[in-house]
Amino acid sequence: MAKSDEVKDPAAKGKLKLILLVVLGALLAIGISVGATWFFLHKPQPKPDEAAQAANTKFPSIFEPMAPAFVVNFNQNGKQRYMQVSITLLGRNQADLDALKVHMPVIRNNLVMLFSAQPFDSLTQPLGQDLLRQKAFASVQEVAQKEVGKVVIEQLLFTNFVLQ
């Protein structure tokens, strides 16, 4: 009897090998799937000092007032009206602002023409004043882009706005 236990059925041996191969293949497929998913979806987190450095790349604000203030006259219904506007430019690079100062006569001319072309009634409303500020900003940006070759100012601020 001992000899009959030692001799196993060859068909049973083949089934056992087949089951082991199927189980190993399934485990290998699952392992490859998990590994590939982790590889493609894993994004390394930036180091804290790199994140802080990237956040601090913005340079400090530099304010450049345009002196003297702009004074524009209007003729409304036979009455003489005046507008006085003080403008300050906000930039981040002093060298770029200095390069823009060379072209200040062109900028001032464009702004005077822009201001004098506005209807006086629209300037009495906050929306009209903000629209004028946006147009003035676009005018300065246009000169900066044309003459300096890049964006120089971030904002144009009305620091004084008087209508009379």
Q: What is the full per-residue pLDDT of the chain (164 aa) written as tens digits? A: 555 555 556 677 778 888 888 888 888 888 888 888 888 787 666 666 655 565 556 789 889 999 899 999 888 888 899 999 999 999 998 998 999 899 999 999 999 999 989 888 888 899 999 999 999 999 999 999 998 888 889 999 999 999 98
Same domain, 71 and 135: yes
* 89 touches 97 (CB < 8 A): yes
* 164 touches 124 (CB < 8 A): no
Per-residue pLDDT at 102: 92
Domain presence at residue 51: no
Domain presence at residue 49: no
Does residue 130 sit in helix, strand or coil?
helix
Same domain, 22 and 95: no
pLDDT in tens, 99-109: 989 999 999 99
Domain presence at residue 1: no
Domain range enclosing 29: 9-43
Per-residue pLDDT at 37: 82
Look-up of token digits 């044309």: 146
pTM score? 0.63
Domain presence at residue 55: no
